[in-house]
Structure 1
Amino acid sequence: MNIRFAKKEDLPAVLVMNEASVPHVTSEELSEMEYYQNKANPFLIVEEEGELAGFMIVLQKGLDYESLNYKFFCTNYDDFDYVDRIVISGKFRGRKLGTALYQYLAENSDQKYITCEVNLEPPNPNSLGFHKALGFNKVAEQVTEEGEKRVALMVKRL
């Protein structure tokens, strides 16, 4: 396993992986992945067996970013890393790559909290269980995307 920062040439493969994970993550265009590459801190890639196996996009407070979930954390927390999305390719699930990405983030963060959201509707029980096992606690719920999604807003204190 290798964890590294995303490069521009990774973005098309990241986009394909992202789209394969909809509705658990929001569908994006290549221009939005380019935005993340410029604004995320960090935008991590995890490789396994020489392949791009997953990614994690992390944002901090103070960005011009329209996500209602991000705005919740900006309103309620001062020092946080917001995991906008974490995706592991189906081929590589169950190998602790997501855990490794979160561990890398925790070891390299200077924030007090790691925050994220997990879909409750449509349900994503695997992600909810994964985040609870990592020590995340639900602090609120929020309905987004004009009622299409309901999410658990989750926080882990570092």
Structure 2
Amino acid sequence: MLSLRPLTAVDIPRIVELNDAAHPAVPITSEREMADLLELAGFTFAAVAGDDLQGFLIGMTPGSTYSSENYRFFDGRGVDYLYIDRIVIDPTVRGAGIGRTLYTAVFELAREQGRTEVDCEVNIEPPNPESLAFHARMGFERVGEQETKGGSVEVALLAAPVRD
């Protein structure tokens, strides 16, 4: 049975393993960089079955010192939001609904906090059509595009309203 809990420092090796296996959809990240990201995170979720961490989500709240170009885009829009920085699912369990479960938790958190939308980005280049399709099914719409990482990556900037 799948359950959700916050990520902890003990999870970092497994998070990095899953993260780096998902490249280029997410950037390669060292354990130190991942620890720093968790320190900045406004919220996190680990999707676990027994002792197996099968997926994770890291998010930010408004006003963070997080320097991501994508986060900065959303933080500058003047909307009360939660930002999903990273979601990764173990490839052996993709399609089992873990992504939807993690996103549902974010929308529930956003409702509890009185936020108006949930924001994220998905790579256009290198392409990630499966993720774009997933986000469309979850109600996300494109609010912009931008090049990041010195022009090596282009992303679709996506937002979805928080509904009652």
The CA deviation string for residues 46-99 of structure 1, in whole angstroms up to 9 with x for no partner, is 013541100000101212222111110011133111100100010110001000
**Worse-matched range after superposition: 78-87 or 130-139:** 78-87
Specify the alignment match of 1:115 in structure 2. Answer: 119
Distance 2:76 2:29 in 1: 25
What SS class does the counterpart of residue 135 from structure 2 fall into? Answer: helix
For structure 1, which segment, 107-116 or 90-99, has the greater mean C-alpha deviation from structure 2 after superposition?
A: 107-116
Inter-partner Cα distance in structure 2 for 1:54 and 1:151: 22
One-letter amino acid matched to 2:156: A
Q: Distance in 2 between matches of 1:34 and 1:125?
A: 29
**Over 4 Å off, 4+ runs:** none
| CA–CA separation in structure 2 for the residues paired with 1:65 and 1:155 | 19
Number of residue-to-residue matches in the alignment:
158
In structure 2, give the amino acid aligned to 1:52: L
**What's the CA shift for 1:19?**
0.5
C-alpha RMSD of matched pairs (Å): 1.1
Alignment partners' CA distance in 1, 2:53 and 2:121: 24
Residues 36, 43 of structure 1: 8 Å contact kept: no
Taking the aligned partners of 1:133 and 1:52, their CA distance within structure 2 comes to 25
Q: For residues 80 and 8 of structure 2, what CA distance do their matches in structure 1 show?
A: 26
Structure 1: segments with no counterpart, 5+ residues: none
TM-score by length of 1: 0.95
Residue 97 (str. 1) matches residue 135 (str. 2): no
Structure 1 partner of 2:64: 63
Normalised by the length of structure 2, the TM-score is 0.92
Contact 1:79 1:113 in 2 (8 A): yes
* SS of residue paired to 2:76: helix
Q: Distance in 1 between matches of 2:32 and 2:122?
A: 24
Q: Which runs of 5+ in 2 are unaligned?
A: none
Distance 1:78 1:139 in 2: 12
> 1:138 and 2:139 equivalent?
no
Structure 1: how far apart are the matches of 2:23 and 2:78?
28
Task: Give the Cα separation in 1 of the matches to 2:93 and 2:78.
Answer: 33
Percent pairwise identity: 36
Q: Deviations over 1:88-112 (max 9, x none)?
A: 0101100010000010111122221
